[in-house]
Structure 1
Amino acid sequence: MDVFRRVLVSFLVLIVAFPARAAERPVLVCFGDSITAGYGLQPNEAYPAALQRKLDAAGYHYKVVNEGTSGATTKDAVASVPAVLRLKPQVVIVEFGGNDGLRGLPLDVTRKNLDAVLTQLEAAHVKVLLAGITLPPNYGADYIRTFEGIFKELAAKHHTAFVPMLYKDVIKQQGTIQADGIHPTAKGSEILAGTLMPIVRVLLKRGK
């Protein structure tokens, strides 16, 4: 009878444990500033939530985690990498630099910090998608050109997947940017997710 009980208990444990393991999904982290965080939006309106819906619909069984922080600079990004790695992500979308540029921070500092972020993720064998951004035209052509070049340089150095201009499809449509002229609306966030999706798909395994 004791043997029967032990076998029964073991069987029930397996039944309970299997669905829990099956429900576990590899993690994709969206790591960035207010654009990622969804400033001015509901949580389900930010681009990471839109990306989750697109991945689910396409049969990619990944869990998208929003690790965006409004106001974060590349310096904050460096400090936050350990917290991101504790999530054990398979893929990280890196979207930082806008606040550095808007504050006129030295571009060498931005480059150094982003380099450090990518280096840490690379050392942890995490797949990375680097999202490039730009600045308003009043910052001057030379400053903007150098700023945009940082993303291209680092993507080449680290051999990461790369979207040169995250907003490239957003600027083509009306109603995609909030009144501040910087942050995407819910419609804009959907478009950002669509811009990222083709590159993200290359990094993911369908059905996982």
Structure 2
Amino acid sequence: MASMSTRETVVMIHRLLIVLLLLSALPARANERAILVLGDSLSAAHGINHNAGWVALLAARLAKQKWDYRVVNASISGDTTGGGLARLPAALDRYHPVILIVELGGNDGLRGIPLAEIRSHLGQIVRLAKHRGIRVLLIGVRLPPNYGTVFTERFQALFHEVAQAEAIPLVPKLLAGVAENPQLMQPDGIHPTAAAQPRLLANVWPKLKPLLQPTPHVPLPPAAQHSLDPNRMR
């Protein structure tokens, strides 16, 4: 094979530079898709190492299973549905998630905020995300039994009501299989231990997985394909 002339080399380099410029102008690739977690202390790894929390474990599982998603944990200890609603627009603008996981309401219940107000806030959060084409997963939480059977049952029911009204999937109880076991709860009886976090993820995963989508194929633009034509590089 004859060696390439200086002119041919320059032409090839020029074409490769064009291809690189075209690729850099492509929309964000699939590996930049974000899952945003809007939660409170149960998702903020309260009282344990941040990397041991269920949200961090979710990110690790997605990476291990080759799902092209990054997880953004926007959870704040002590947050309420009202607080989450107030900060959600800025979070959506910043991270552009394709999936929103909502885990809020526990602090509302502990503070005795009216159930109708909690329900309204959750509904607004869901609709705000859906209006932008974002898939939403709602996570229900429970209140300690000392709040009374009637109130705790009505509180638990509001998550089902919101999920049904908005036609979104629901994890009924984030702490299912955990809250009943004192060894998996921190001394305050509200927050799960590090050892409980894999169980929390196990509760979330079956409802989250159907919302995940394979990496989409992003074809090269015609101009890039034209520049890479080996017959034109001779």
TM-score, length of structure 1 as denominator length: 0.89
Root-mean-square deviation (CA), in Å?
A: 2.3
Q: Which of 38, 46, 50 is the aligned partner of 1:39?
A: 46
CA contact (8 A) 2:179 2:192 kept: no
Displacement of 1:117 in angstroms is 0.8
Distance 1:23 1:121 in 2: 19
Distance 1:141 1:9, change over 3 A: same
Local SS of the residue matching 2:74? strand
Local SS of the residue matching 1:79? helix
CA contact (8 A) 1:101 1:135 kept: yes
Which residue is equivalent to 1:72? 79
Displacement of 1:205 in angstroms is 1.6
Displacement of 1:3 in angstroms is 5.6
Which residue is equivalent to 2:64? 57
For the pair 1:97 / 2:105, whether they are aligned, the reply is yes
Runs of 4 or more consecutive aligned structure 1 residues displaced over 4 Å after TM superposition:
1-5, 11-15, 20-23
CA contact (8 A) 1:32 1:67 kept: yes
Distance 1:203 1:169 in 2: 24
Distance 1:28 1:70 in 2: 19
CA contact (8 A) 2:30 2:215 kept: no
Distance 1:92 1:4 in 2: 45
Local SS of the residue matching 1:35? coil
Which residue is equivalent to 1:83? 90
Deviates more, 1:3-12 or 1:76-85: 3-12
CA contact (8 A) 1:51 1:194 kept: no
Matched to 1:28, the amino acid is I
For the pair 1:30 / 2:37, whether they are aligned, the reply is yes
The structure with the largest alpha-carbon Rg is: 2
Which residue is equivalent to 2:145? 137
How many pairs align? 206
CA contact (8 A) 2:103 2:139 kept: yes
Gaps of 5+ in 2: 1-6, 217-234
Local SS of the residue matching 1:69? coil
TM-score, length of structure 2 as denominator length: 0.79
Gaps of 5+ in 1: none
Which residue is equivalent to 2:213? 205
Distance 1:23 1:126, change over 3 A: closer
Distance 2:28 2:91 in 1: 22
Distance 2:64 2:181 in 1: 24
For the pair 1:127 / 2:135, whether they are aligned, the reply is yes
Identity of aligned residues (%): 35
For the pair 1:164 / 2:203, whether they are aligned, the reply is no
